[in-house]
Structures are given as C-alpha cells and as structure tokens.
Amino acid sequence: MTRVKICGITRVEDALAAAREGAHAIGLVFYERSPRHVGIAQAAQLAAALPPFVTTVGLFVDADPAFVRAVLAAVPLDLLQFHGDETPEYCTQFGRPYLKAIRVKAGVDLLQCAARFSTAKALLLDAYVAGVPGGTGATFDWGLIPRNLPLPVILSGGLDPDNVAAAVERVRPYAVDVSSGVEAAKGIKDAAKVAAFINEVKRIDVQLS
C-alpha cells in the first residue's frame, strides 16, 4: 500500500478533509518564507483536530534548534521533516524520528545520501529548484532514483491527480507527498483534488497488486 502525505495544510477543514479521504499523514510547514507557513498556535489547533492514526509531520528548513524545540513543546508532532541543508547530527539532536528531504537534480548520489542519513526514517525526494526549498510544483527525473536505496522513499515534487499513478508505477515508493498539486490556492487545499489524488493512488495500488 502506498501511503499518502498531504503537505502544506493550514486550515482545520483541509486537515479533516485529507484525513476523511484517507491521507496517512499531513505536513505542517514551519518555514516563515513559505506561503503555507503555520504559526505554533495554529499548528497546535491543526494537530488537535486530527483523528487518531493520522501522522502529523512538522517541516523545517535550516531552523534554529531552539525554534524546533519550541514547536515540539507546543505541538504533538509525530515526525520531523528537514527540508534544508541540515546535517545528520542536526537532524538527530531532537531525539525524534525524522525524514530527510533531498532536492534531486542530475548528479546527486542518492545512495550516498541514504548512507549519510542512515538515521532517517525515510528519504523524501523532491525536485531541485534553485532558490526555493520546496512546494514548487516541479517534478524531477524519476529515473535518477536507484532501485536499491536502503531507506524507504517518499516521492514528492510536482505530483498531482493526473501523474501520481504513473509515478507510483515507475518508482514504487513507500509513500507519495503532495502540496501544490491538490491546492485551490497556495496554502488552501481543494478537497476534490485531494480525493482524486488519493483515489488514484488506491487505484494504481490495486492494479499493481
């Protein structure tokens, strides 16, 4: 079964719609320069609204460790996602499970990345776009992903209801992650697109089983 993470949630109704449609995880962006940025109080409300068994992921980009700790003290995050140039030592200092995002471009050695971040629960593979750390809506060449990565792969970057089935068929990831491709506007999810995205993942899973 391919898991689904809906990232960049800012509204309780979007969190609930994602959970209702079967999302396994939601992502909360604690990066001030993102149009999907959430404050600590808002994030606490979002996390509290979720039903059980939906994972809450907190996303950071080269954040001050004190800020990450302040978020952790107020918001019951299940997983941390580090989306910048963090080192393995930085990522492990919080004593929490984490995902390491890698922005993929030609020449990147993903086997080396997996060895470097062996303490991560998974690698989240996103598109490299200069100057923008994430949420770009851009895809990357899925052929750059080795078949034998020793960590689970969360495929991300420019996925949407029209291309996610092809992505799952090609990459066979542990999970897929989407933000722009299911939005009505930046930070505002479109419930119909979220449903279509998750239904496409379910459909291709059945077809591949």
Ligand X SMILES: O=C(O)c1ccccc1NCC(=O)[C@H](O)[C@H](O)COP(=O)(O)O
* Of the candidate residues 17, 29, 54, 196, the single one contacting ligand X (CB under 6 A): 29
Q: Is 197 in the site for ligand X (CB under 6 A)?
A: no
Using the rule CB under 6 A, which residue among 58, 161, 173, 181 binds ligand X? 181
Distance CA 158, CA 104 (A): 12
Which one among 137, 152, 163, 204 touches ligand X, defined by CB under 6 A?
Answer: 137
Among 98, 177, 189, 198, binds ligand X (CB under 6 A): 177
Q: Could you say whether residue 156 binds ligand X (CB under 6 A)?
A: yes
Catalytic residue among 14, 126, 160, 177: 126
> Phi/psi at 202 (nearest 5 deg)?
-65, -40
Are the CB atoms for 164 and 178 separated by under 8 Å? Answer: yes
Out of 38, 61, 120, 164, point to the residue binding ligand X (CB under 6 A): 61
Question: Rounded to the nearest whole angstrom, what is the least distance from the CB of residue 200 to ligand X in the complex?
Answer: 14
Q: Which residue has the tokens 């080396």?
A: 112
The C-alpha atoms of residue 101 and residue 155 are separated, in whole angstroms, by 10
Instruction: Give the nearer residue to ligand X in terms of CB position, either 43 or 61.
Output: 61
Please identify, using beta-carbon distances, which residue of 176 and 206 lies nearer to ligand X.
Answer: 176
Write each residue from 86 to 115 as x if it is in contact with ligand X (CB under 6 A), else as -, in one continuous string. ------------------------------
List the beta strands (DSSP E) in 131-181: 153-155, 175-178
**Nearest to ligand X of 158, 161 (CB atom):** 158
Q: Is 58 in the site for ligand X (CB under 6 A)?
A: no
Rounded to an integer, what distance in angstroms lies between the CA atom of residue 166 and that of residue 45? 35
Give the residue, chosen from 58, 158, 161, 173, that forms a contact with ligand X under the rule CB under 6 A: 158
| Minimum CB distance to ligand X, residue 121 (Å) | 14
Q: Which residues contact 34 (CB under 8 A, 6 or more apart)?
A: 8, 134, 135
64 counts as catalytic: no
Residue 127 CB partners (closer than 8 Å, separation 6+): 103, 104, 136, 138, 139, 140, 156, 157, 158
d(Cα 186, Cα 27) in Å, to the nearest integer? 14
Give the N- to C-terminal CA distance of the chain in Å, as an integer: 9
Catalogue the active-site residues.
7, 126
Which residues lie near ligand X (CB under 6 A)?
A: 7-8, 27, 29, 31, 34, 36, 59, 61, 83, 126, 133-137, 156-159, 177-181
